[in-house]
Structure 1
Amino acid sequence: MRQNPSFAMTDVGELRRLVELNPWVTLVSQTDAGLVASHYAVLLDEGRDDLTIVGHVGRPDDLIHSLGEGELLVVVQGAHGYISPGWYADGPNVPTWNFVSAHLTGVPEILSPQENLEVLDRLVARFESGMPQPRLLWEPPNDADYVTKLERGTVGFRLTPTRVVAKRKLSQNRPDEVVETIIAELEAGAGPYADPRLAGEMRRDLDTRKAAR
């Protein structure tokens, strides 16, 4: 991802927030057979305060990616959406796409079966927590044999990135009043490109920049 200093995202707290809010990521590896991409959910490593993530792949994706033998690129995609030139002030303008995204690169560590089970347990708990009646990994009708077989069909990993490229492109190059107009259009809800989530990220960024002046 080409970096632009005006849009660079470097704060670890903000990057952790991005991963926390957008756990469904793309895993990319360069293999002898060419580029390979897969999609899985990841979590921040609860024992760390950096950008270390944990997750798993289903077998045989570990072999397809040569997991643990070379670099793995993890693409985290946050809120994104189309920005119409009609939302700018009068004058020549073209459309753009606003987004928040991060690329985390490193060589993953393969987890032990017990560590993998702990990650699987956390993943289920994370996403089931919002359900009216959560079905956790170790609760009936699941039993130990079932969970053990499940773990054997997956390979867990931990990745501490050695290279991070992150970008928050949210119309920072536009005057505040134009950004306010874009936010209002995204919040409107009536148009085809309304996106309250992207509007929220833009509002958060604008308020932070105003506070720093």
Structure 2
Amino acid sequence: MHPNSAFRPRQDDLAELLVREIGFAAIFANTPDGPRVAHAPVVLGDDRTTLQFHLARGNALTRHLGGANALAVVQGPDAYVSASWYADADQVPTWNYVAIEMEGVTRKLDDSELVAQLDTLSAAHEARIGTNPPWTREKMNPAQFSKMTGAIVGFEMRIAAWRPTIKLSQNKSADERDRVIAGVEVTGHGAIAQLMRHLGGDRKDA
């Protein structure tokens, strides 16, 4: 989390929207074997107090997560920012990025909760890609589906803390931000440019 308060989103629902839109997180926890990280699709609860995910049963983190305090990090687009894009010569390069940290204690899901999580995930993402008809587990042989779900373990984090960083040059003037937007767009980072335009109201001179 960046210490500059300028990079805390002013829109209360922005971090939640980004977690739902990106839908993928790195899950960190300490284990007896040292710190471990896993990567997984995530489902944010409707009340934004829970985050569900699942891991392969053989993942090195899986056997340590139940009851553990964990950190989930959802990372959005990022881009290098050249100091040459500023009018003031006394500047240094930096990096614009989006990162949302969520911390909390995790619990293992039972079989029915895991299946519900998988149904929610597939329904959300099938709707995005517009498959008609969408894929559902009803298309699978139930025995095969049960065998495959037996190879994964579901978890739910009770979110105790949100720590979002939306670092998009909010501490710069409107003219400087416009130059950075043009620069990152030219260098192929259109997603960062679009977010910077969307957050134009968070400028320090706004």
TM-score by length of 1: 0.86
Any conservation in 1 of the 2:62–2:153 contact (CA below 8 Å)? no
1:205 to 169, 175, 199: 199
Which range is displaced more, 108-117 or 6-15? 6-15
Any conservation in 2 of the 1:121–1:136 contact (CA below 8 Å)? no
Any residues of structure 2 matched to 1:44-55 within 5 Å, and which? Answer: 44-45=44-45, 48-55=46-53
Secondary structure of the residue aligned to 2:13 is helix
Partner of residue 35, structure 1: 35
Which range is displaced more, 52-61 or 71-80? 52-61
Q: State the Cα distance separating 1:34 from its structure 2 match.
A: 0.3
Distance 1:12 1:62 in 2: 35
Q: Which amino acid aligns with 1:161?
A: I
Distance 2:10 2:74 in 1: 14
Please report the RMSD computed on the Cα atoms of aligned residues, expressed in angstroms: 2.1
1:70 to 68, 71, 87: 68
**Structure-2 change in CA distance of 1:200 and 1:162 (3 Å):** same
Any conservation in 2 of the 1:9–1:168 contact (CA below 8 Å)? yes
2:155 counterpart of 1:161: no
**Structure-2 change in CA distance of 1:2 and 1:172 (3 Å):** closer
Q: State the Cα distance separating 1:200 from its structure 2 match.
A: 1.0
Distance 2:161 2:23 in 1: 19
Q: State the Cα distance separating 1:78 from its structure 2 match.
A: 1.2
Secondary structure of the residue aligned to 1:200 is helix
Any residues of structure 2 matched to 1:155-194 within 5 Å, and which? Answer: 155-188=153-186, 193-194=187-188
**Structure-2 change in CA distance of 1:65 and 1:173 (3 Å):** farther
Kindly tell me the number of residue pairs found equivalent between the two proteins.
Answer: 204
2:29 counterpart of 1:16: no
Distance 1:194 1:179 in 2: 17
**Structure-2 change in CA distance of 1:11 and 1:54 (3 Å):** farther
TM-score by length of 2: 0.89
Higher normalized strand content (fraction of residues): 2
Distance 2:107 2:10 in 1: 24
Name stretches of at least 5 consecutive residues in structure 2 with no aligned partner.
Answer: none
2:135 counterpart of 1:136: yes
**Structure-2 change in CA distance of 1:71 and 1:134 (3 Å):** farther
**Structure-2 change in CA distance of 1:63 and 1:203 (3 Å):** closer
CA offsets 1:20-73 (integer angstroms, 9 cap, x no match): 12112101110111000111110112xx32242111111023764511221111
CA offsets 1:132-189 (integer angstroms, 9 cap, x no match): 456624143x11111111221111111121122211111111110110111122233x
Secondary structure of the residue aligned to 2:199 is helix
2:118 counterpart of 1:124: no
Q: State the Cα distance separating 1:8 from its structure 2 match.
A: 1.8
Any conservation in 2 of the 1:71–1:106 contact (CA below 8 Å)? yes
Any conservation in 1 of the 2:36–2:60 contact (CA below 8 Å)? no
Name stretches of at least 5 consecutive residues in structure 1 with no aligned partner.
Answer: none
Secondary structure of the residue aligned to 1:199 is helix
Any conservation in 1 of the 2:55–2:62 contact (CA below 8 Å)? no
Identity score, percent: 29
